[in-house]
Amino acid sequence: MSKVQPRTLSGFMELLPARQVQFDRMVEILRRTYSLYGFTPLDTPLIEASEVLLAKGGGETEKQIYRFMKGDTDLSLRFDLTVPLAKYVAQNYGHLTFPFRRFQIGKVYRGERAQRGRFREFYQADIDVIGDGKLDISNEAEIPSIIYRAFSALGLKRFQIRVNNRKILNGFYAMLGLTEQSGEIMRTVDKLDKIGPDKVKELLVEAGLTQEQAGEILGFTAITGANQEVLTALEGYRGRNEIFDQGLDELTTVTKYLAAFGVPETHFAVDLTIARGLDYYTGTVYETTMLDHPEIGSICSGGRYDNLAEYYTDKQLPGVGISIGLTRLFFVLEDQGYLNDGLNTAPADVLVLPMTEDLSPAIALATQLRQAGIRAQIHAEQKKFKQKISYADKLHIPYVIFLGEDEIQSGTAAVKDLATGEQVKLPPAEAVAHIQAGLDKRNQGTPILDKGE
Amino acid sequence: MSKVQPRTLSGFMELLPARQVQFDRMVEILRRTYSLYGFTPLDTPLIEASEVLLAKGGGETEKQIYRFMKGDTDLSLRFDLTVPLAKYVAQNYGHLTFPFRRFQIGKVYRGERAQRGRFREFYQADIDVIGDGKLDISNEAEIPSIIYRAFSALGLKRFQIRVNNRKILNGFYAMLGLTEQSGEIMRTVDKLDKIGPDKVKELLVEAGLTQEQAGEILGFTAITGANQEVLTALEGYRGRNEIFDQGLDELTTVTKYLAAFGVPETHFAVDLTIARGLDYYTGTVYETTMLDHPEIGSICSGGRYDNLAEYYTDKQLPGVGISIGLTRLFFVLEDQGYLNDGLNTAPADVLVLPMTEDLSPAIALATQLRQAGIRAQIHAEQKKFKQKISYADKLHIPYVIFLGEDEIQSGTAAVKDLATGEQVKLPPAEAVAHIQAGLDKRNQGTPILDKGE
């Protein structure tokens, strides 16, 4: 038979087993972290009617969409988890209780040009809090603590949550009489990290600003320092614009509650250069950077918005949310050597090797191990003893149990720790406890190993 | 602004929050169960090159495929998890260790005609054991124990795993000189449950069999009774066909190890009417039925096959696997009132109600609860007290904590159990323990409540 070459599409991450275990462990930690903050899981379809998914229409995104006909139906694959959320909330409004806090971890699709580290199918891990008409600022204050806890639980240490408030920016540009140009200005200022202040100033002047205006803007974005210093500097602008003052109040509140939320000062920075998705966000905005890898850009971003679902409903649904691009993050972590390969990635904790023809005792022992929550595999293939040990070695299975006539007669099991070579003969119940204790030790640690501090 | 009607495509399951929690709990139990047997998780792309996915080609499936062009690339959405596994194993053969045991729980797509209880996007929860060249029969014997443990862990009681062996069927038809017609015969016999023996006999004769042959076949499929009785009856055919004898040996082995694997006789039946996917399976085949809902058909099926990846590689890769159609199962369970609504589906365990303007103490308390693993939400919206309690009620959040000046001064928290109305004032650490004990009680139980027994 002629064969088809098996291959995976470029831009689609498909992991080998040990890596998949590492990825899944990260997903599990994010699920748990999000749950701790009272977010409920959602799972929306990957396919939506194009008319619904693209209600907002236009823009760069549309070109990247996987869109196709099935029969007479115009379908699209979701390109983020926010639009499906908007649809869900508008559609199920009467069945939901607000504030509605949901998390969703799922795949999204964008037909970007394939290049290293860019994915066409990738996981996003999102949370959003949606209010009905109103939403208290304390929700915006809570977000940094969720980001902090999530990345800390993953094992990341050297990261920083950078926060700004769109009202401060809008108010500031209003002071300068530059409200109409503010969108374009912010897009330019957004390039500060990449092209530097001189080039930004040049671009601003080219765009029609006076030298003085451009200078004011750069002076403003140059306000840096400890959070309290930045807030104090911002107080100097107070009283000149209502929106600005409101934004400053919000930023002050967000900063004030950090300590109670358990976020250390070291991991949080008020950063006036951050604007994010210009039209959508209306209050606090967030970015998160790896201090040792600024080139990666933000690994967790989001912000406050006033209208989640305006394309679907007249209801005012303000919210705040963040998103982690998990597939790209995982790629970067692997690429930069951050993955903790010391954590158990074996498919089983114990490999049971029956040494008798009748497998019943080995099966009964494996059943007992499984009932105790220990992952057990029976290796009953017609292979040489050495090959079976090599099987456990290759998969990094921590324990092997030999069960021969001797052990069966004496009601014991010979348990070998493959890392230390230590072997003990124990009655099954004690073997379970012995292995469980060893596993508890081995399973400690985080999926990310961040050596820096 | 004119609005787009938010809607979800028909045939796509999208759950309300409490139901989603129930669904996710079932997924989690399946993950854990599969892991206990040494299966490693895989996650393959939802999109594959059509050429690769449809290498086998033809058949009913192809019409149902979601297939489309993106630029110049011919793409298809996966319609099961087996073909992607075959691709994965062929492609990564050199990186895998055999027997390779993997589980995958993921969505697949089939553009079936939409009707109640039929889904176009649905989860499959699969396991497969793949051997390199050979695979021991003990793997086939283990499968019923995985099915038994999985459904038992979900809470299902009245189900039966029905097992047959394709070699017994093939051998039997060879004895009758009906090897060439066996495919068609088995398709007809497969209808026994639906149309009854008389109609089946009629169809067989119409298809050209003699009355005697048809009678022999019905006599064979009528062999029922306790497993040992069936095996004994089958022994009566031994010695007439080599394949038959081999199949009988295998079936005997599978049955022999049931007790050691912890599968009670009540939940396992040798059933000679089961054939399954005629071309693919070559040994043991499995179906699982709900005893009180036979009309649903099999809720977990699979079997032994000789060649996983013959379209991609010359390597002989025999395997055995089963699949649970999770979305359809969930639909049926909900429809038939099997879901345990007593299990906690709230997004949070505790709703913290700050009664002071400064939220710091409430935030600090919520932080402490979360550090103890308790899911906590702070309700700081500008709402009346009664509305906040009603929020907790509607979401079935089990505990509310009031934190007013009194409590802050005295270093306590007022914890109210919303189910009993009981309210206690406790220092934070004791409040944590109090809540944890209550939750442990509440979180006992299985997602499925099967009253029958």
**What is the secondary structure of B11-36 as a DSSP string?**
TB----HHHHHHHHHHHHHHHHHHHH
Query: How high is the pLDDT of residue A452?
Result: 67
- The residues with which B75 forms a beta bridge, in sequence order, are B49, B68
Nearest to B167 by CA among B157, B155, B179: B179
Is the model's pLDDT at A453 over the cut of 60? no
Straight-line distance from the first to the last Cα atom of chain B, in angstroms, rounded to the nearest whole number: 58
Helix (H, G, I), strand (E, B) or coil at A334: helix
The residues near A406 (Cβ < 8 Å, ≥ 6 apart) are: none
Nearest to B389 by CA among B349, B367, B416: B416
Query: What sign for the dihedral angle of Cα B191, B194, B195, B196?
Result: positive
Distance of residue B254 Cα from the nearest chain A Cα, in angstroms = 11
Low-confidence ranges of chain B (pLDDT < 50): none
Tens of pLDDT, residues A122-157: 999 999 999 999 999 999 999 999 999 999 999 999
**Between B107 and A189, the higher pLDDT residue:** B107
Looking at residues A390-411, what average pLDDT do you find? Answer: 96
Global pTM value: 0.96
Residues of B in contact with A373 (CB under 8 A): 36
User: Do the Cβ atoms of B70 and A70 come within 8 Å?
Assistant: no
Residues of A in contact with B101 (CB under 8 A): 347, 377
pLDDT confidence band for A117 (50 / 70 / 90): confident
pLDDT confidence band for A63 (50 / 70 / 90): confident
Helices (H), B275-373: 326-335, 360-371
A21 touching B (Cβ < 8 Å)? yes
Q: Torsion-angle region of residue A91: left (phi > 0), alpha (psi -120 to 50) or beta?
A: alpha
Tens of pLDDT, residues B145-196: 999 999 999 999 999 999 999 999 999 999 999 999 988 898 898 888 889 9
ipTM of the modeled complex: 0.96
Residue in A8, A28, A379, A391 to test binding to B, most B beta-carbons within 10 Å: A8
Tens of pLDDT, residues A244-275: 999 999 999 999 999 999 999 999 999 998 87
Query: How high is the pLDDT of residue A280?
Result: 86
Mean pLDDT of chain A: 94
Among candidates B1, B40, B373 on the partner chain, residue whose Cβ is nearest the Cβ of A310:
B1
Helix (H, G, I), strand (E, B) or coil at A432: helix
Tens of pLDDT, residues A144-153: 999 999 999 9
Is the model's pLDDT at A364 over the cut of 70? yes
Is the model's pLDDT at A61 over the cut of 80? no
Query: How high is the pLDDT of residue A266?
Result: 95
pLDDT confidence band for A192 (50 / 70 / 90): confident
